[in-house]
C-alpha cells in the first residue's frame, strides 16, 4: 500500500489563526503558530513542519522462516550522542511515493533491492511539536544493489536474527522510535505470524 507524498502530517487548518516562520532549513521548518484550541481558547505553539519520511526493515530470510535474518544499520547520530541501531530510512525526493522513497533508501543505505515491499503503518514521531510522519515498510526477496550514502552518513550494515533484534529492543540497545515500531509491528503482524 502506498500513501501520497504531500503533507507528511495532517494539521487542523481551521485551528490555525496565524503562522510566523522562525527558521526555514534544509530538513525542518520552524514556525510559531497562533491556534484556536477545541475549547475556543487561543494560544501560541511552536511547530516544526517536516516533509515526512519512509523507513524499511530488510528481511533476508524467506517469508515464513521461524527466526528470520534482518538487516539493521548502525549509524552515527550527533543528536543521539553517537552510534545507534536503525532501520534504513530517509526523506522523499521530489515526486517520489513513500514506497519509492523506502526502496531507494534501502538500496542506498543497506545495498539491497527488495523484490517485495509491504506497507506496515505510519508513525507520528513527536506530535507535541512536529507534523513529521514516517511511513514504515518491510522488505523481502532481497537482491544485491548499490550503496550510495550521503556525505554525512556514517553507518555499517549488520545482520541479526529477529529474536536477537527483539532482545535488543527489550534491553534498550535499540532506542530509535521508528526502528522500534517497525521491528515490533513487522514481527507481530508479518514475520512471526507467517511462521506459525
Active site (catalytic) residues: 151
Q: Are 120 and 87 in contact (CB under 8 A)?
A: no
Q: Are 83 and 74 in contact (CB under 8 A)?
A: yes
The DSSP letter of residue 173 is S
Please provide the DSSP assignment of 130-143 as one string.
B--EEEEEEEEEEE
Q: Are 178 and 89 in contact (CB under 8 A)?
A: yes
Grid coordinates given for 112: 539491497
- 183-193: b or e for each residue (b if 16 or more CB lie within 10 Å)? bebbbeebbbe
Amino acid at each position: 500500500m502506498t500513501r501520497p507524498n504531500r503533507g507528511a502530517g495532517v494539521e487542523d487548518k481551521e485551528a490555525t489563526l496565524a503562522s510566523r516562520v522562525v527558521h526555514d532549513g534544509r530538513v525542518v521548518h520552524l514556525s510559531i503558530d497562533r491556534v484556536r484550541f477545541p475549547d475556543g481558547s487561543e494560544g501560541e505553539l511552536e511547530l516544526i513542519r517536516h516533509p515526512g519520511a519512509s523507513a524499511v526493515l530488510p528481511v533476508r530470510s524467506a517469508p515464513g522462516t521461524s527466526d528470520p535474518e534482518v538487516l539493521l544499520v548502525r549509524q552515527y547520530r550527533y543528536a543521539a550522542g553517537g552510534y545507534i541501531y536503525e532501520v534504513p530510512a530517509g526523506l522523499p525526493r521530489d515526486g517520489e511515493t513513500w514506497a519509492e522513497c523506502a526502496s531507494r533508501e534501502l538500496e542506498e543505505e543497506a545495498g539491497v533491492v527488495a523484490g517485495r515491499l509491504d506497507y506496515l503503518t505510519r508513525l507520528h514521531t513527536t506530535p507535541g511539536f512536529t507534523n513529521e510522519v514516517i511511513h514504515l515498510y518491510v522488505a523481502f526477496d532481497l537482491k544485491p544493489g548499490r550503496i550510495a550514502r550521503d556525505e554525512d552518513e556514517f553507518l555499517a550494515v549488520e545482520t541479526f536474527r529477529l529474536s536477537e533484534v527483539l532482545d535488543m529492543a527489550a534491553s534498550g540497545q535499540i532506542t530509535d522510535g521508528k526502528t522500534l515500531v517497525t521491528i515490533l509491528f513487522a514481527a507481530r503482524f508479518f514475520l512471526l505470524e507467517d511462521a506459525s
